[in-house]
Structure 1
Amino acid sequence: MALAELKLRQRSDYGFFLDCCTRWNDNDMYGHVNNSIYYFLFDSIVNTYLIQHCGLQPLTSAQIGLVVHSHCNYFSPVSFPATLKLGLRTNRLGTSSVEYEIGVFERGCPEVKAVGGFVHVFVAREAGRPVKQGMPLEMREGLEKLLQRGSISSKL
């Protein structure tokens, strides 16, 4: 996706939201939220959604999601104290994998501050390999609710 297109993301481009407050120790030595914190936030919104809407039980589910790719594009800094609204969408949905996109917005500011995401591959907890039938049906149905128009869904 083109960087210019990502920079135009709006809250309406996302289907699930999570509010987060920055903490003093989130700032780096330049007074901005450190890049590593964005990845912490991405993980938080994705796992909140998976637990609340997809049947994931992190300690006992037969399948778990492994991150195989991650990225983030930063457009404008955020600093403590700030209240952030994270938006989540699904851009691609395969048999065992899903590509998430997360938009980071600051309260009172319409422009997106950062857009990033990652790819999960769902694997059998014990074997660490994708299962033949793919991710569980409840997981797929929950993720399909966030699939955006023009995105790719595949049940190969």
Structure 2
Amino acid sequence: MAPTEQLRRRQRQDYPYVLEYRTRWADNDMYDHMNNSVYNFLFDSVINTYLMEHCGLLPPTSAQHPLMAHTHCDYFSAISFPKVAELGLRVNKLGKSSVTYEVGLFEKGVEGIKAVGEFVHVFVDRATLRPNGDGMNNQLRSGLEKLAVHKTTSKL
């Protein structure tokens, strides 16, 4: 993950894929802002929406199955109901069977980033829950490469 000050300077154009989310009353906590757990829900949602729309992932049946290996979030300012969130997605690292995503959360119509999340998925065989020796299939890799900001391949 990039240093905090670098993350604070992220802009919408730093993310090749953006998904809108209309906040709900239930997203707010007793402090009148979106609960921390909802951020993770949103990060997971933008990633899986992209995987389904652009990488051929069909969650109930795909042979390759993403497992969460790591998650992290830096919070910079609050967002709350009834605002509209814009979730930007990029790939910071693409390995043989793993991918490190970065998700930027913005409020529609407002400058400045609200939060930046990092998720790491390891793609495993559905039956064994172990990484496939050949790594990701071509359709999955091709879709993820479109979001890659650094063309990095690792062994995992």
Range of TM-score over shorter length: over 0.9
List per-residue Cα deviations over 1:79-122 (Å, max 9, x = no partner).
11100110000000000000000000001111000000200000
Q: Please give the alpha-carbon distance, in whole angstroms, between the structure 1 residues aligned to 2:34 and 2:136.
A: 34
What is the rounded CA distance, in whole Å, between the counterparts of 1:152 and 1:34 in structure 2? 34
- 1:42 maps to 43
C-alpha root-mean-square deviation of aligned residues, in Å? Answer: 0.9
| Residues 1:13 and 2:14 aligned together | yes
Specify which structure has the higher proportion of strand.
Answer: 1
The 2-side partners of 1:139 and 1:75 are apart by 32
Structure 1's 81 and 43: CA in aligned 2 closer, same or farther, altered over 3 A?
same
State the partner residue of 2:26. Answer: 25
Work out the CA distance in 2 between the residues paired with 1:109 and 1:137: 38
**Matches of 2:109 and 2:127 in 1, distance apart?**
45
Shift of 1:17: 0.7
Deviation at residue 64 of structure 1 after TM alignment: 0.4
Identity of aligned residues (%): 55
C-alpha distance after superposition, 1:1-22 (max 9, x if no partner): 1100000000000000100000
- Structure 1 segments unaligned to the other structure (5+ residues): none
Offset at residue 155 of structure 1 (A):
6.0
TM-score by length of 2: 0.97
The count of aligned residue pairs is 154
In the alignment, the residues of structure 2 paired with residue 99 and residue 56 of structure 1 have an alpha-carbon distance, to the nearest angstrom, of: 17
Q: How far has the Cα of 1:127 moved from its partner?
A: 0.1
Name the aligned partner's letter for residue 153 of structure 2.
Answer: S
Aligned to 2:52: 51
**Would you identify which runs of 4 or more consecutive aligned residues in structure 1 move more than 3 Å?**
none
Q: Partners in 2 of 1:107 and 1:95 — Cα distance?
A: 35
SS of alignment partner, residue 143 of structure 2:
helix
Q: Please tell me whether residue 153 in structure 1 is matched to residue 155 in structure 2.
A: no
Q: Which runs of no fewer than 5 residues in structure 2 stay unpaired?
A: none
- Equivalent residue letter for 1:90: V
Query: Match of 2:110?
Result: 109
Determine the C-alpha separation between the residues in 2 that align with 1:74 and 1:141: 31
Q: Is 1:138 equivalent to 2:139 in the alignment?
A: yes
Q: How many Å apart are 1:152 and its aligned residue?
A: 4.4
CA distance in structure 2 between the partners assigned to 1:142 and 1:45 by the alignment: 14
**Letter paired with 1:99:** T
Q: Which residue of 1 aligns with 2:87?
A: 86
